[in-house]
Amino acid sequence: MGSGKARWKLSFHRSPSSSPSSSFSAEAPPEFLCPISRSLMADPVIVPSGDTFERRCIEACSALDFTPPTLSSCSSPSTPLLLIPNVALKNAILTWCDRSGLPRPAPPSAEAARAIVRRLMPPAPAAPDDPSPPPPPVALREGLKAPIGPDTPPPISVRTRRVNPNPRFSPPSSSASSSSYPSSSSFPSSEMAAGAAEETLTQETPTKAREAPEASPTASCDRLEEEILTQLKDSEPSEQEAAMASLRQATRESRERRLALCTPRLLAALRPMLLSRYAGVQVNAAAALVNLSLEAPNKVRIVRSGAVPPLVDVLKGGHPEARDHAAGALFSLALEEENRAAIGVLGAIEPLIQLFTRAPSSFSSSSSDAHRARRDAGTALYHLSVASTNQSKMARTPGAVKALLALATAPNSDAAALRRLALMVAGNLAGCADGRAALMDAGAVAALVGLMRDAAGTPEEEYCVAALYGMSKGSLRFRGAARAAGAEAVLMRVAEDSGGGRAGVRRQMARRTLRAMRGEDDDAAAAAAAAFGTEFDDDGSIVSEGLVSFRRRHQRDFGTGGGGGGGGSNTTEF
């Protein structure tokens, strides 16, 4: 009895404390967990600051006027509500669950999300004797200003569904993020497009009627759409190229066709074609997307469909002709103000800067095509730099400011339009603290003063004055750099100019900059606010400070408007 062998005792009963959700949430990579619910994200979305959250949770925060403790506060409170579906991160989460043999996460209900958020909120103070209602709490800093009810649809993405019962998403993913929880910067944007062709999208947003084209799709467009989708099911590159060529030709014909053919199914089918390794397929797909983007109602649809990450991949390593078309598409999409923050978050800034500042000799295409591609990239950067959320991203891009200044001071007379674009972008970067620091680190004060000496009365002088004015805002460092560069002499020349029109704007900026150099800036802050329609120390851009002449000059020089929602002939049909 006492000498019996020890035996293993096995239990097949699971502890009630180890629920499936808690076990796999604890073992999941931290970037897969929602900072609010601390569970795997089923529908991750990115806010303009770069932070990633579960959609229902961030919507619950908005509805309850609660700011999550983990939310970055780097962006302006005026930033519009923008939720960008992070498909690359979602696909990575689903892949991890499948490989681990764990169930895929399901999004929480609106009620459950609100319960989670309420647990994070501080307790409400005791009701005072005064029956007047308490002041509303501070809303989310990322522009989540209007309360969202449980039936309110997601404001940025078109909700989609699949025919089979396992739902997936196909809105845009992210290629760049400043989040404390990495979003799709950890995953290449091409992962997002891998399953795009498998998905059949059905638009069911209540805003469909408002966003629908003015003319109903004709029978011929319906037939063409079906023919293209049928051809794309064929794995033969020749069939895919023929389908993209048909779409490219059709989108050149008329505005009505461009509106009718900008459908969720065709946009979903275009994404993997942009990533094709066959030049003919990729070039025609990129050109067709440029044509579709010409119409103002299509611009937001294209960005929401997830087309920006493939365009970024084409810019980085696509066929030369397709890369040129991708730059044109991003320029066209950036004309819409609502798209600018999303394009910046999705990683377009760095490859656009590389293309814009690239040496002409490094292009394999003709000089005219290379110049057009660089101009499209520069114009896209200009419009993106108007958005405050993108200014810091540009300033922090390694080598970006130095490359812009090198282009702005290039002696090549053939690049005059590109030089002006570089100066305009630099002027917008001077509207934020990071931009001012990066410009001064790169020696911008001396470079701009030197350029002004040889550019009296030219557009370049106007943009140089604007950039110097931006850098002078509340900066002791600027005073020393400006004195060392001899800025006072060239600024005095502009300040004493008695001309009218745009000379008046230049004159005011030059005088304001001279006061900053002399340390008189603080006493004149109120006068500056009255003259420019803004607070002295506010971050901003040339356009946002009311310098209308810059917008008008840009429209004349580059054939575009400065505002959002611009449509029409903003770029060339391909």
Domain ranges of the chain: 20-122+135-198, 398-539
Tell me if 300 sits within 8 A of 336, measured CB to CB: yes
Q: What is the pLDDT of residue 278?
A: 94
Q: Which CATH number fits domain 398-539: 1.25.10.10, 1.10.3720.10, 3.30.420.270, 3.40.640.10?
A: 1.25.10.10
**DSSP conformation class of 534:** S
| Sequence-separated (6 or more) residues with CB below 8 Å from residue 156 | 45, 81, 82, 83, 84, 85, 171, 304, 342
**DSSP conformation class of 381:** H
Q: What is the pLDDT of residue 95?
A: 87
Helix, coil or strand: residue 325:
helix
Q: What are the tokens at 458?
A: 């030219």
Distance CA 295, CA 253 (A): 13
Q: What count of other Cβ atoms lies within 10 Å of the Cβ of residue 377?
A: 29
Q: What is the pLDDT of residue 299?
A: 95
Q: What count of other Cβ atoms lies within 10 Å of the Cβ of residue 283?
A: 26
Helix, coil or strand: residue 84:
strand
Tell me if 438 sits within 8 A of 401, measured CB to CB: yes
The position carrying tokens 């966003």 is: 211
The Cα angle at residue 420 between residues 418 and 425, in degrees rounded to 5: 95
Distance CA 440, CA 471 (A): 8
Q: What is the pLDDT of residue 9?
A: 44
Relative to beta strand 52-54, strand 44-46 is antiparallel
Torsion of CA 435, 145, 47, 90, to 10 degrees: -170
- Cβ burial 501-527 (10 Å sphere, 16+ → b, else e): ebeebbbbbbbbbbbbbeeebeeeeee
Range list of H helices, 48-100: 55-63, 87-100
Distance CA 381, CA 217 (A): 34
CATH architecture, range 20-122+135-198:
2-Layer Sandwich (3.30)
Distance CA 408, CA 400 (A): 12
Q: What are the tokens at 92?
A: 């990575």
Long-range contact set of residues 226-231: C-beta below 8 Å, sequence gap at least 24:
228/266, 228/269, 229/265, 229/266, 229/269
Q: What is the pLDDT of residue 253?
A: 86
Residue ranges, the chain, pLDDT below 70:
1-26, 49, 71-81, 124-219, 365, 412-414, 499-502, 521-574
Q: What count of other Cβ atoms lies within 10 Å of the Cβ of residue 256?
A: 16
Q: What is the pLDDT of residue 318?
A: 93
Strands laid side by side in the 84-85 sheet: 52-54, 44-46, 84-85
Handedness of CA 324, 326, 332, 335 (dihedral sign): negative
Q: What is the pLDDT of residue 47?
A: 79
Element (H, E) at 273: helix 264-274
Dihedrals phi, psi of 85, to nearest 5 degrees: -60, 130
Q: What is the pLDDT of residue 258?
A: 93
Total H helices, total E strands in the chain: 28, 3
Burial of 254 (0-12, 13-18, 19+ CB in 10 A): exposed
Q: What count of other Cβ atoms lies within 10 Å of the Cβ of residue 403?
A: 18
Longest dimension (CA), the chain: 114
Torsion of CA 509, 514, 519, 524, to 10 degrees: -40
